[in-house]
Amino acid sequence: MPQILVVEDNKPNSELLCDWLEAQGFQVLAVDTLSQAFAFCEDHIPDAVLLDVKLGPEDGLSLARWIRQQPKLLHLPVLAVTAHAMVTDHERVMQAGCNACISKPVDFKLLRKHLDRWLPLSARLQHAPNVK
Ligand code: MN
């Protein structure tokens, strides 16, 4: 089962994302701080990361920048989620090495498209979505 790391400090947002991902057949690990996210990625390689850009006072994008400097995580898909869908924010997100910038509130159809596009083939083959 493909595993998604969700990094989001807002509890209701995190729960909404996790519930949806689990219903889609993903295994989800949720953390709400950067240090938890770093600790997780030191020991595990998820199939994708959903990253809230603003984690309280912390800049979520520092995780994306760090991931892109780790040879073993270089190809890990990082999908940023941001409440600030301004052009400058989008650029900042992409420059940090994220694969996509998704505005809040999250459009799940769009999120599904990004996951289909960016999940590695190995993860997609493990994943049998419920056909409705
Ligand atoms: Mn936040």
Predicted pLDDT of residue 40: 97
Question: In the predicted model, what is the mean pLDDT of the chain?
Answer: 92
Residues in the chain with pLDDT values less than 70: 85-86, 127-132
How far, in Å, is the centroid of ligand 1 from the Cα of 81? 9
Look up residue 76 and give its amino acid. Answer: L
Residue 119 DSSP class: S
- Is 0.85 surpassed by the pTM of this model? yes
Predicted pLDDT of residue 88: 75
How far, in Å, is the centroid of ligand 1 from the Cα of 71? 27
How far, in Å, is the centroid of ligand 1 from the Cα of 104? 10
**Pairing mode, strands 48-52 and 3-7:** parallel
pLDDT tens digits for range 50-85: 999 999 999 999 999 999 999 999 999 999 999 876
Q: How far apart are the first and last CA of the chain?
A: 19
> d(Cα 118, Cα 122) in Å, to the nearest integer?
11
How far, in Å, is the centroid of ligand 1 from the Cα of 21? 18
Predicted pLDDT of residue 122: 77
